Amino acid sequence: MPKQKTHKGMAKRFKITASGKVKHRNAFRGHKLSHKSAHRKRQLRADNVITGKDATNIIEALRPGM
């Protein structure tokens, strides 16, 4: 049976930390920033942590067979 492959699209968007949490970059930070307040842009700088079944699905896609 062939090996399972890592989902490359997810690998570019999510990072699994050493403790097993799933981090991702906030949306709404790519362009059209001129009308957004400094407070909103500052809040969007931080990475988000994904929890629950979403995190489990991402981990399974990034670490096949584990």
R_g (Cα) of the chain, nearest Å: 15
What percent of the chain shows pLDDT beyond 70?
98
Cα separation, 55 vs 22, in Å, equals 6
User: 24 Cβ partners below 8 Å, 6+ apart?
Assistant: 13, 14, 15, 47, 48, 50
Number of domains in the chain: 1
| Residue 2 is assigned to a structural domain of this protein | no
Residue 16 pLDDT more than 80? yes
Residue 1 pLDDT more than 90? no
Q: In this predicted structure, what is the pLDDT of residue 10?
A: 94
**Domain around 37:** 8-62
| Residue 18 is assigned to a structural domain of this protein | yes
| Residue 56 is assigned to a structural domain of this protein | yes
| Residue 32 is assigned to a structural domain of this protein | yes
